[in-house]
Structure formats: C-alpha cells, structure tokens
C-alpha cells in the first residue's frame, strides 16, 4: 500500500512549486500530478464553482489509486477544503492542503507591513480571513489580489521584467511603504520570485522577505504519511503528469518548472 502514489492537485501548473519541494524532502514517494489548466485560473470563480472543480479533480486522482491527496492550491483550499474533508471522511483518504504562510511572515521581527499577495478568490474567502484574524496584529497584513500572474506563468513566461506592468498596478498604491515580508499566497508565484523582488525594490522599503508555504506543507504531508503508515521506503520519486488542458503544450512547461531553481 505504501508504494501507491501521492496525488497532487492544483488549478494549473502552480502546484509544481509544492511538488518540487516534495521531491526534495520526500524523495522516496511517487507522485501523480493533476493540473486543472483547462479551467484555470480559479481566482475569479465563485466558491461553489471552485468546490465543484476541486471535487472533480480529486475524483480523478482517486480513480488513479492514490494513497493521499495534496491540494497544492491556495484558492482551492480557501474555497473548499472543509467541504472536501467532510466528503472524503467516508473514504478514509488523508488530505493535506496549503494555505498562505502569513503566520511565519507575521512572526518576523519588525514593525513594517506584511503583504499577502494571492488570487482575488483567496483574499476574499472566509477561511483565509479567519486565518488573518488569528494573527497577533491582523491590521499589519495587507491583502493584495494579483489578477494576471497565473495566466502568464501558465503560458511559460518567467522573465523578471515581464511582470512590471502588473506590479505597477499592485504596488503603486503602496509606494514607499515599509514591508517586512511578502507572502506568496499562490503556488504559481514562487516561479517568479525575481519579478516580486525586482518590483519590491522599485516601490517599497524594508526587507520585503519572500515567504511561501511549500516547505511547511510538504513537512505536514510527511507527518500524515507517517501517521497513516503510508511512507514509501523504496520509491524513486516518479512523477506522472495529467492535465485538463493541452498536455502537449503544458507538459514541457511543467517539466521545466520542476527543474527550476526557486
């Protein structure tokens, strides 16, 4: 049973940033990745639509005989993970999900702001807003929706200056603000850390430390596999790729993302 793969789901290719950490920290596990690029981005969809799409993708992974599912999509988590877990309890299927890493960001020393940058859906959903409310100083966190990034990453665009026009919109209202940390609240964002750093320097003051939740999520995956005695001692880190989009176009981008130094 331990040799069965872990299913990894994202709204598109962004979950490759989490899978990359999984391959590094849990190298004996085998993985099946499912990216719903045919329906991406999720960030401009309703909660019900996101939940419906998430459940359909989980169903596809279950049909592939996975032993656990990692929801590597902040938007899917924020919109639907509670409902997903309720429905999945009947199958005794471990489900691990990612959420924006504002807790470690808020734990950093300093008096500057914490920018939480994510899709519009993530920043408006109750699960995320409840997480923000639990921070020591919720007002320190500024939520910035970032429409446009997901589509460009899905297109294979990674040049640092290829996102300047978008960051002009995101950061212009905060010119000169002291920022201690920038939370990459979408799994697509780690692939353009250079663009975040470049534009933070153009507009902001302070350390602007970039933080994402991939490592913490993968460590939790490892703990869950141990708890359920599902850890694979002999696997080879095999990755199988599936998508609802154009596989001929997307698979080469996916493979490039797995190899990218992020």
Which active-site residues does the annotation give?
73, 186
Q: Which two tokens stand for residue 59?
A: 């169903």
User: Residue ranges of the alpha helices (H) in the chain?
Assistant: 16-25, 47-63, 74-88, 102-106, 120-124, 126-133, 149-154, 164-171, 193-203, 214-227, 247-259
Q: What is the DSSP letter of 5?
A: P
In degrees to the nearest 10, what's the CA dihedral of 18, 3, 35, 247?
120
Compute, in degrees rounded to 10, the torsion defined by CA atoms 184, 190, 193, 197.
Answer: 10
Is residue 113 within 8 Å of 140, Cβ to Cβ?
yes
Euclidean distance between CA atoms 185 and 76, whole angstroms: 12
Give the Å distances, CA to CA, from 8 to 20, 22, 199, 224. 11, 10, 31, 14
Phi, psi dihedral angles at 240 (to 5 degrees): -115, 130
Would you put residue 56 in left (φ > 0), alpha (ψ -120 to 50) or beta? alpha
**Could you give the CA distance from residue 171 to residue 248 in angstroms, rounded to a whole number?**
35
């Amino acid at each position: 049973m331990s040799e069965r793969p872990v299913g990894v789901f994202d709204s598109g290719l962004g979950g490759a940033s989490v899978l990359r950490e999984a391959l590094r920290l849990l190298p004996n596990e085998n993985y099946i990745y499912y990216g719903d690029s045919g329906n991406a981005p999720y960030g401009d969809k309703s909660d019900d639509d996101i939940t419906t799409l998430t459940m359909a993708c989980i169903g596809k992974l279950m049909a592939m005989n996975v032993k656990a599912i990692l929801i590597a999509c902040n938007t899917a988590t924020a919109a639907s993970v509670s409902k997903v877990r309720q429905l999945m309890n009947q199958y005794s299927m471990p489900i691990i999900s990612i959420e924006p890493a504002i807790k470690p960001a808020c734990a950093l020393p300093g008096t500057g702001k914490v920018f939480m940058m994510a899709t519009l859906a993530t920043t408006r959903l109750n699960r995320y807003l409840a997480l923000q409310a639990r921070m020591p100083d919720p007002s320190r966190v500024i939520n910035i929706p970032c429409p446009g990034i997901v589509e460009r990453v899905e297109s294979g665009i990674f040049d640092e200056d290829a996102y300047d026009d978008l960051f002009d919109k995101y950061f212009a209202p905060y010119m000169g603000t002291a920022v201690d940390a920038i939370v990459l609240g979408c799994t697509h964002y780690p692939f353009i850390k250079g663009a975040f750093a470049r534009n933070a320097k153009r507009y902001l003051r302070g350390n602007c430390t970039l933080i994402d939740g991939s490592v913490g999520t993968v460590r939790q995956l490892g703990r869950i596999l141990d708890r359920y005695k599902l850890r694979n001692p002999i696997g080879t880190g095999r990755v199988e790729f599936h998508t609802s989009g154009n596989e001929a176009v997307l698979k080469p981008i996916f493979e490039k993302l797995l190899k990218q130094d992020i």
